[in-house]
Amino acid sequence: MANIILNGAVVPNTWTLIESVEPLAAADVAEGSILPLSVWLAVRETLLENPALAGKRVGVWLAPSDEPGELVDDIAGLPLIAVQFPAFTDGRGYSIGRLLRERYGYKGEMRAIGDVGRDHLFNLFHCGFNAFEIKASQTPEHALEGLKAFSDGYQSSEQRKLPAYRRRPHAQTADSWAEISSPS
């Protein structure tokens, strides 16, 4: 079982991605599955209402064109939501990540899957992803370096709620520069 990055550490992947969007009976959903959104929506009621199945650990994955708002009723209960990046140049998942965290208040594991590598980790992290399944051509240990690309940033993000302009000392205006640079 391949390793993933979770909360800044390399750990074994304990989940199984169900890529097929073929419908599944609730009873056939295996423990530890990450289901496509459409499959999840079809089985969620049965899974949640049947006491025999209710304890099952199940996650959901979203394609870039999926609407994260469809999970609004499940946000509190889902232990894992994955967002798929079919190509790393498809940036829709970054917005999905922020919406899940900021608008819908999702607190569980949010995992980036697909064409995900070292050079994308920093921005994904700031959009709220805390787990990364790294593409086969790179190792998770190597990709972890990507989280260190920048020590700070201008924008409000999941990791840094206040944008830089709400953290900057306001004294640092042009006048304070004039003091520093005037030959005294």
CA 59 to chain centre: 13
Dist CA 88 CA 123 (whole Å): 12
Q: Which region among 31-39, 42-50, 69-77, 175-183 touches another protein (by CB under 8 A)?
A: 175-183
* H or E element, residue 178: helix 174-181
Residue 139 engages another protein in binding (rule: CB under 8 A): no
Is residue 144 a contact residue for another protein (CB under 8 A)?
A: no
Binding mask 115-134 for another protein (x = CB under 8 A): --x-x--xxxxxx-------
Instruction: Single out the segment in contact with another protein by CB under 8 A; choices: 31-39, 46-54, 55-63, 148-156.
Output: 148-156
**167 scored as a contact of another protein (CB under 8 A):** yes
Cα 163 to Cα 100: distance, rounded to the nearest angstrom: 20
Of 40 and 125, the one with the shorter C-beta distance to another protein is 125
CB of 82 to another protein, least distance (A): 18
Beta-carbon neighbour count of residue 163 at 10 Å?
13
159 CA to centre of own chain: 12
Count of alpha carbons within 13 angstroms of residue 178, beta-carbon side: 4
The distance of closest approach from Cβ of residue 1 to another protein in the complex, given in angstroms and rounded to an integer, is 25
Rounded to whole angstroms, the Cα distance separating 168 from 102 reads: 23
Pairing of the two strands 9-12 and 3-6: antiparallel
Residue 15 vs 158, nearer CB to another protein:
158
Counting contacts by CB under 8 A, is residue 136 touching another protein?
no
In 3D space, the residue among 74, 176, 79, 76 whose CA is nearest the CA of residue 130 turns out to be: 79
Among 103, 105, 107, 139, contact with another protein (rule: CB under 8 A)? 103
> Quick check: 89 and 116 in contact, CB under 8 A?
no
**Residues in region 21-60 near another protein by CB under 8 A:** none
Binding interface with another protein (CB under 8 A): 88-92, 94-96, 98, 103, 117, 119, 122-127, 137, 147, 149-157, 159-170, 172-175, 177-178, 180-183
